[in-house]
Structure 1
Amino acid sequence: MKKLLYCTFLVLYTAFGTGFAQYAAGQMGYAGTEGGMLYGGLGVTMIDDETYFSISFRPEVAFGKLGVGLNINLLYNMESGGIRSKDWDSSYDYFRLIRYIRWGHKWDPVYARVGTLDAARLGHGFIVNYYTNEASYDERKIGLAFDVDMGNFGFETVTSNLGRAELIGGRAYYRPLYGMEIPIIKNFAVGASFARDFDPDVWSNSDDGVSVYGFDVELPVIKSQIFNTTLYADWAQIQGYSAIEDESRTFGSGEAVGIMASLGNLANMIDISAKLERRWLGKEFAASFFDPFYELQRYQVMSGDTLVKGFRKVDMLINAEETAGVFGELYGSLLGDKVRLLGMFTRLDDRKESGIMHIGADAPDAIPGVAAHAMYDKFGIETLGDAFSIDDRSIARVGLGYKIKPYLIIYMDYIWTYVETEPGSREYKTQERVEPKLVFSYQF
């Protein structure tokens, strides 16, 4: 169990440590501004044992409800002296310079997004939660998210790849009391969701799909322009093909109850959303099965397997024990979007040291001429006091940047990890690492 928690922690650290600005700037993909943002950077990368100097730009432009995101990524081969040809050997490579085109934002009466899906979600996220179809630059897909809310009923959809049947999901909901004009009660809704990855191994002649279906209810208790709270409950079931067992079967089910709250645009200083959820997860079940890491986990070739059966994410559920616990998240901004926040926490009942926490803040414009960000990650949490104790389960990062130009920032990242001075001593010494980087960031 500790090994699983440690691996989960490393994945969370890698994902949020390197991509925090993108998530926080877009409030996990659900909000935005009427302007635009240009992110970019310089770096060095290795591909197939060749060294490349990378130059990347990700401008995001919004005009009212219409938004366009671009992804310009140039890899310069430092040995041959040319741009990596594989990136530009077809007309499709030029077409995919467009990351996405969107209309509106999530939770608007009409929302549509075509292209890269950064944080797709259905309902309360118990089945599809912050899913992204961009596992890597070379494997980007053109996906679609399309939602409509007509008052008494509506739907949400997500499609990972318009080029072939891969992950397709949807949620339909109905507000049976909507026409009664009774405060609070009129917004009560019941919903049903279904999501299926039709072909995890991408071989068209195989039948190895995995499905998750579920039902939910929700009741927005307070609904205003500034403050909103919603009570909800979810149930879901997983069915799919196991390569290890070489059969398709029903896996486990799980339930959750929770509350979502948001404080929006208070005096143009605070815009924060939070969720606290109590989960009961049955045997062989995982909440948010289609999550930010699904594209990396959906199919992996097993080492030494001459038949190349592969390992599906659903195989990770085999013999998984029944669990219960608490899950929470926090995201938003302060000081008129000058400080962006992101936090996540999960802990299982009756599992010692099962807590995992991530806290991050990004302040690109809070201080003139200076940009800053900070992150703290901890796994193996047992008590509340344990969450902020410094030991070998902790990683801290602080980055300070000087703005050479309003759009060009030199960052110096300081990373702290901790190791025991002697095995079993419970005394720790600090290991420090410094990472310089150059970042482009321009708002218009």
Structure 2
Amino acid sequence: MKKISVVAVIFILMGVLLSSAANAQFGLMNLDRKAQEGLFNGGIGLTTIEGESYFTINIRPEIAFGKWGLGLNVNLLYSTKTGHIRSKDWNEKYDYLRMIRYIRYGWKGDKFYTRVGALDAARLGHGFIMNHYTNQASYDGRKIGLALDVDMGMFGFESMTSNLARLEIIGGRGYFRPLYHSGIPILKNLAFGGTYVTDTNPDDNRNTKDAVVEYGADVELPLINWPILWAGVYADYAKIKDYGSGKSVGIGFRVKNLLGLLSLDARLERHFLGKRFVANYFDAFYQIYRYLPDGAGSGIPKVASLDAITTETKGIYGALYGRILGTIELTGSFQHLDARPKSGLLHLGADATKIIPVLALHAAYDKMGIENVKDVFTLDNRSIARVGVGYKVKPYLIVYMDYIWSFVLDEKDNLYKPQERIEPRITFNYPFSL
């Protein structure tokens, strides 16, 4: 624990020293950027975990002052049968540390950004290797990760690790702008980058040598950088060690607060993928599928599934983010390969807590293995979903009913299995300024 604390302090101090660095790097709009104010979240409800029912008390304050942010997650579960607190949540020292959901300085895309704790949608570069990765896919498997990005103008880097306690998944991207000081319009922002990501132990067994390594190179050129409009082009190459490789070309654009009505951020990519290769290998599902035990003392790592990809193929990837009227936030991404069945991968998110006076709505959905429209609307072991409808008793007091589809680790056979829950809860949501 002391090592973790020292590392975090060093990274945060670096943020203060580098806060005057050059322009931020290429990327989509900062999806995690909120107003610079605090928010006190809390609630009570009822949930079911591993067949047992629990009363829940949840306190999740988020405190923001300037570019600093702190999020806590105190989650108490009391058995409806015994009245005792769920012991599995507090049987290790690590569990107490997880009450700190995150500590951050800045936002993704800033000249300096760091976040310690929950990584909800980690991305490196343009996302061709790592995109939407989360270390929170399983409730009991939540980890304390780290993201650290520094942009010093001519060069910079992005980095992450999923778990500071064990350094399981580690990744970084360095980039260089050779013409940065030339003063040449447009070309001064030309950047070349290189990315390296490894999962040191997919099976969590230190005695096995099963590390997965992916590395790549990229080039990017922002073309327009006006106050309300930004656009750029980019290309990527990636290789999974001992397996295949792939390439991608893309274009992105951004509209910033058009007439106070609309903010829009989008990208579209064309993928050229070789045998035994997939784009976005480290994705939102990776923490679940990195290694699947077979129940007989062995298992199958995700990388082994690449052997089934025996043909080259092409595909598309698109991502969209929008904020409408300053109150409705929509996010989405989709990718599909031209000639590979069940290759569709979908991510959707929506939040509308302010648009309707008495109602609050939110939803998040991830789906892999999509082949047709029916697959999109079918919940199974390829899905993670949460949908909530709330009634505002007061502007800051909301009664929610949430439907949740996620995964839980079955300790009997050591397999992740789908878990379906309906959770009533009462939330307290109060913004404040420091």
Q: Tell me which interval the TM-score lies in, with the shorter structure as reference length.
A: 0.7 to 0.9
The answer on whether the counterparts of 2:30 and 2:108 sit within 8 Å (CA) in structure 1 is no
Partners in 1 of 2:272 and 2:294 — Cα distance? 31
User: Counterpart in 2 of 1:103?
Assistant: 105
For residues 154-208 of structure 1, the C-alpha deviation after alignment (integer angstroms, 9 at most, x for no partner) is: 0011011111231111000000111111111110000000000111111112111
Q: Does 1:295 align with 2:283?
A: no
Structure 2 stretches lacking a partner, 5+ long: 1-27, 380-385, 405-420
- Cα separation, 1, equivalents of 2:262 and 2:39: 20
Shift of 1:49: 4.2
Residue aligning to 1:380:
371
For 1:18-33, what aligned pairs fall within 5 Å after superposition? 29-33=31-35
Alignment-derived partner of residue 335 in structure 1: 325
Partner of 1:159: 161
Do structure 1's residue 323 and structure 2's residue 313 form an aligned pair? Answer: yes
Mark the CA change 1:323 to 1:408 in structure 2 (over 3 Å): closer, same or farther: farther
**CA positional deviation for 1:153:** 0.6
Distance change >3 Å, CA 131–CA 374, structure 1 → 2: closer
Q: CA RMSD in A?
A: 3.0
Name whichever of 314-323 and 170-179 sits farther off.
314-323
Distance 1:214 1:356, change over 3 A: closer
Aligned to 2:358: 369
1:57, distance to aligned residue in structure 2 (A):
3.0
**Per-residue deviation, residues 112-138 of structure 1 (Å, max 9, x unmatched):** 111111111110001111111123333
1:345 aligns with 2:337: no
How do residues 3-22 of structure 1 correspond to structure 2 at under 5 angstroms?
none
Q: Aligned ranges for residues 360-439 of structure 1 at < 5 Å?
A: 360-373=349-362, 379-381=370-372, 394=377, 400-411=389-400, 437-439=424-426
Deviation of the 1:357 alpha carbon: 5.3
Matching residue within 263, 271, 295 for 2:263: 271
Gapped runs of 5+ residues in structure 1?
A: 1-25, 240-249, 382-386, 416-433
Paired with 2:430 and 2:378, the residues of 1 have a C-alpha distance of 29
SS where residue 353 of structure 2 aligns? Answer: strand
Q: Specify the code of the residue in structure 2 equivalent to 1:318.
A: D
**Take 2:346 and 2:90, find their aligned partners in 1: how far apart are those partners?**
40
Counterpart code for 2:430: Y
CA distance in 1, matches of 2:122, 2:350: 22
* Aligned counterparts of 2:82 and 2:220: Cα–Cα separation in 1: 59
Shift of 1:48: 4.6
What is aligned with 1:171? 173
* 1:29-428 alignment, distance < 5 Å: 29-239=31-241, 250-303=242-295, 305=296, 308-321=297-310, 322-336=312-326, 338-350=327-339, 360-373=349-362, 379-381=370-372, 394=377, 400-411=389-400
Identity over aligned residues, as a percent? Answer: 53
User: Is the CA contact 1:184–1:221 (under 8 Å) kept in the aligned structure 2?
Assistant: yes
TM-score by length of 1: 0.78
- 1:79/1:273 Cα in 2 relative to 1: closer, same or farther (>3 Å)? same
Deviates more, 1:91-100 or 1:121-130: 91-100
Q: Paired residues, what number?
A: 380
Deviations 1:254-307 (A, max 9, x none): 11100121222334432221111101111111111111111111122113x2xx
Distance in 2 separating the partners of 1:375 and 1:163: 28
Tell me: CA distance 1:172–1:45, structure 2 relative to 1, closer, same or farther (3 Å).
same
What is residue 430 of structure 2 aligned with on the other side? 442
Q: Sort the Cα spacing of 1:295 and 1:375 in 2 relative to 1 into closer, same or farther, 3 A.
A: closer
Go from structure 1 to structure 2 and tell me whether the alpha carbon gap of 1:110 and 1:352 turns closer, same or farther (over 3 Å shift): closer
Shift of 1:326: 0.9
Residues 218, 232 of structure 1: 8 Å contact kept: yes
AA matched with 2:261: M
Give the Cα separation in 2 of the matches to 1:376 and 1:86: 27
